[in-house]
Amino acid sequence: MEINLFNDASLVPQPKRKVAIEDFRVEPYPDRFRVKVNLKLTPFQERPNLTITARRSDGLQVSDLDVIATMHFDNEFTMHIRGIDDPSGDYTLTAELYYETRNPPQDSRQIDFVILPEDG
């Protein structure tokens, strides 16, 4: 007799070699100094690490986030834009998933986003 504990086969936890970033989204908050980050991973058996970095178009790092051994495969974070007076402009958000070493990461994704001027 087989007992299926998962109604949805896509939610079956996978070994670490099969774990990847499945969805990556960013949305600036109305205050323009925070961004909402959604990061969905393959359901996993072993907990992975994440590094998320936001850079302005000129390469200046304005925010970073490290998650060690995340417990969730569907993650939502708020990142704060730091070190600048006016956050308007073009940005790149990079997410890296890794286990033992970050060089190279097991998987990575990059997404561009824009923070509009206050009057725009």
Asked if residues 64 and 50 have their Cβ atoms less than 8 Å apart, the reply is no
Q: What is the pLDDT along the chain (120 residues), one digit of tens a residue?
A: 555 555 667 789 999 999 999 999 999 999 999 999 999 999 999 999 999 999 999 999 999 999 999 999 999 999 999 999 999 999 999 999 999 989 999 999 999 999 999 885
Phi and psi for 60 in degrees, rounded to 5?
-65, 125
- The per-residue pLDDT for 13 is 96
10-115 folds as Immunoglobulin-like (2.60.40)
Q: State the pLDDT at residue 5.
A: 57
Q: What is the DSSP letter of 118?
A: T
Q: Structural domain boundaries of the chain?
A: 10-115
- The owner of tokens 């790149």 is 92
The alpha carbons of the chain give a radius of gyration, in whole angstroms, of 17
Q: Measure the CA–CA gap between 47 and 4, rounded to whole angstroms.
A: 22
Name the strand (E) or helix (H) holding 43: none
Can you read off the two tokens belonging to residue 109? 């994704």
| Preceding amide of 104 cis, omega within 30 | yes
pTM of the model: 0.89
First to last CA, the chain: 61
